[in-house]
Amino acid sequence: MTQKVVSMKTALVMGAGGFIGHHLVTRLKEEGFWVRGIDRKYPEFNPTTADEFVIADLRLPEQVDACFDRDVDEVFQLAAEMGGAGYIFTGENDFDIMSSSAMINLNVARSASRGSVGRLFYTSSACVYNQATQSDTEKYTCKESTAYPANPDSDYGWEKLFSERLFQAVSRNNHVPTRIGRLHNIFGPQGSWCCGREKAPAAICRKVAEAVDGGEIEVWGDGKQVRSFLYVDECLDGILRLMRSDCERPLNIGSDFPVSIRELAEMVISLSNKRLTIKTVSGPQGVRARSSDNDLIELQLGWRPTQPLQDGLEKTYAWISDQVRSSIESRQSA
């Protein structure tokens, strides 16, 4: 009897030591892929499930070339200098953000076009959108077409826009089929929750977990700034659906359920069962209001995110409370 040999699909995940990259490796393993994770560091909170994990500095062309030494079905390029408002919007890290991420993307695009790559995915951001359309808390949804004329509010956004075009050019000229997702505020367990690179949901969960009952938490700005937040599992659903679709246009991967930062804080406080007041203080905020417009993704993929924000916040708050508790216990026992 002849036996059909089915070879395993292969994937490279650049940025596999980071928040979304680590979750993506786990998902690809569940799907049966052979996965090589690449990052300058291992995942912080849980061991990787990748078959191989390569520690590399993707700013260095020869290290990126070495990652493409075999045929690969799917490449996911997530590595970037990344952080929350305290990192992206102060202006203090602009050169590092632009130069490191641009070097990484140039190297990945060049090595992918020399190697044998089935398809490449690039994680862009909601920060590419024109800030002039996001100054109003009534009209702020980001349709994909409104990224031009370009006027992002941060150098992080300008670099993302440049790299979108870079990967589109590689797709056009060098025959590496590329898909691009513009991610909007992804959150969930196993993301940065302290020390400067955390984003709003994680920072608020940490502040609430640390606060004593009857106390207060601080939020940056007047609390009326608006965002939408997408739980990491649905973000992966969007990334993988877009990767395996025919859609060559950048698509939003985000929630279209907008909340103010105050409302977000109130939701987390209610999960904690503590009585806390919210104090607004000055701090970096980014644009006034922004939420994903999901008409195009629904049209192109027949899918849009639907999970309630509350469900993702419950899982994230539970995980961050545990992190806060263990960090207090280890400080006390030191």
Q: Which is nearer to ligand NAD, 115 or 276 (CB)?
A: 115
Q: Does 41 engage in binding with ligand NAD (CB under 6 A)? A: yes
Give catalytic status of residue 156 as yes or no: yes
Is residue 78 near ligand NAD by the rule CB under 6 A? Answer: yes
Q: How far is the CB of 3 from ligand NAD (least distance, A)?
A: 40
**C-beta of 79 vs 208, nearer to ligand NAD:** 79
CA distances from 309 to 24, 142, 185, 289, 314 (A): 20, 19, 12, 17, 9
Please choose, out of 13-21, 207-215, 216-224, 290-298, the segment that lies near ligand NAD by the rule CB under 6 A: 13-21
Catalytic residue among 87, 122, 156, 231: 156
Helix, strand, or coil (residue 13): strand
Provide the token pair at 72.
């690969």
For residue 30, the minimal CB distance to ligand NAD (Å) is 18
How many binding residues for ligand NAD (CB under 6 A)? 26
Q: Which residue has the tokens 């806060």?
A: 324
Task: Name the residue with the smallest CB distance to ligand NAD.
Answer: 18
Closest CA to 197 of 1, 44, 33: 44
Beta strand ranges found along the chain (DSSP E): 10-14, 34-39, 52-55, 72-77, 117-125, 141-142, 178-183, 186-187, 216-220, 226-227, 230-231, 251-253, 259-260, 277-281, 291-292
Shortest spacing between CB 172 and ligand NAD, in angstroms: 22
CB contact set of 82 (below 8 Å; sequence gap of 6+): 18, 88, 197
Alpha helices in 175-231 (DSSP H): 200-210
Closest distance of CB 159 from ligand NAD, Å: 9
The reply to whether 104 sits near ligand NAD by the rule CB under 6 A is yes
Q: Residues in the site for ligand NAD, rule: CB under 6 A?
A: 15, 17-21, 39-41, 56-59, 78-82, 100, 104, 123, 125, 183, 185-186, 199
Catalytic positions: 156
